[in-house]
């Protein structure tokens, strides 16, 4: 595509990539070790096509009722679908059909539901991340520290899920450096149980720099990349 919207996204993408590169330089890291996940919730499928044309092939969605039809419409587009939002167990059968990586496994029941659905509806294991609660606040979602080992064990128990790492959102009242330091500690505990679980999904438009400083491998970027838009109907 070549239009004003594509030009806008291209300019925003250049700025975001510049921020990622600068953060990696400051942290002594290779920018190639950080994956940009474009969070396209509330944005139309046409924007996903624009992103793909611009070389962004990792696409994040947080609601199945929006993501499933969007993924169906874009069948054949060489993108990787990341499910990044809270997921209800009754949506597992739908999500496993299109998602390449689910970032938000927040308990044993969801892990078990995804495992059953993946075994039935997929021809390969589903990659998943454990969503961590950094402050153990049950209202914010995520796995609190005392439950972490049980959830990891539930994912590792079968062959239809593959544990790839962890995800977290920094609590609003916390300093991002404090939050992502805590995340790095918990990620190391998960890797001790599952050495291949090297993904750390952390950092969004406002805090990608401290996330990268503390080891994020995937940053989830929405508004900085796509701007403010009205919700889809």
User: Using 50, 70 and 90 to split pLDDT, how confident is the model at 157?
Assistant: very high
Does the structure show a pLDDT above 80 at 85?
yes
Q: Which residue range is the domain that position 181 belongs to?
A: 4-225
Instruction: Give the integer Cα–Cα distance in Å for 12 and 216.
Output: 21
pLDDT value of position 229: 66
Q: Chain-wide mean pLDDT for the chain?
A: 95
Does the structure show a pLDDT above 80 at 151?
yes
Instruction: Give the integer Cα–Cα distance in Å for 22 and 192.
Output: 30
| Number of domains making up the chain | 1
Residue 220 near residue 37 (C-beta atoms within 8 A): yes
Q: Residue 202 domain-assigned?
A: yes
Q: Residue 109 domain-assigned?
A: yes
Residue 179 near residue 134 (C-beta atoms within 8 A): yes
Q: Residue 232 domain-assigned?
A: no
Residue 96 near residue 119 (C-beta atoms within 8 A): no
- 180-217 pLDDT, tens digit each: 999 999 999 999 999 999 999 999 999 999 999 999 99
Q: Residue 231 domain-assigned?
A: no
User: Using 50, 70 and 90 to split pLDDT, how confident is the model at 1?
Assistant: low
Over residues 206-230, the mean pLDDT reads 94
Q: Residue 58 domain-assigned?
A: yes
Q: 201: domain CATH number? A: 3.20.20.10
Q: Please, is 218 exposed, middle or buried when counting C-beta atoms within 10 Å of its C-beta (0-12, 13-18, 19+)? A: buried
Contacts with 225 (C-beta within 8 Å, 6 or more apart), sequence order: 9, 12, 13, 16, 36, 38, 39, 205
Q: Residue 233 domain-assigned?
A: no
């Amino acid at each position: 595509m070549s239009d004003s919207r594509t030009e806008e996204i291209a300019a925003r993408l250049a700025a975001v990539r510049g921020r990622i590169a600068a953060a990696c330089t400051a942290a002594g890291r290779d920018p190639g070790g950080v994956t940009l996940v474009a969070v396209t919730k509330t944005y139309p499928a046409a924007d996903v096509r624009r992103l793909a044309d611009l070389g962004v092939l990792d696409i994040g969605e947080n609601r199945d009722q929006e993501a499933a039809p969007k993924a169906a419409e874009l069948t054949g587009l060489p993108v990787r679908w990341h499910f990044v939002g809270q997921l209800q167990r009754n949506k597992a059968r739908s999500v496993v059909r299109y998602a390449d990586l689910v970032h938000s496994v927040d308990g044993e029941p969801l892990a078990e539901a995804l495992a059953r659905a993946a075994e039935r509806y997929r021809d390969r294991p589903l990659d998943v991340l454990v969503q961590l609660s950094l402050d153990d606040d049950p209202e914010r979602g995520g796995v609190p520290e005392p439950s972490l080992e049980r959830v990891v064990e539930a994912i590792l128990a079968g062959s239809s899920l593959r544990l790839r790492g962890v995800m977290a959102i920094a609590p609003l009242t916390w300093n991002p450096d404090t939050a992502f330091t805590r995340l790095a500690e918990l990620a190391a505990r998960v890797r001790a149980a599952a050495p291949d679980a090297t993904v750390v999904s952390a950092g969004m438009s406002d805090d990608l720099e401290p996330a990268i400083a503390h080891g994020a491998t995937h940053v989830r970027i929405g508004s900085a990349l796509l701007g403010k838009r009205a919700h889809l109907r």
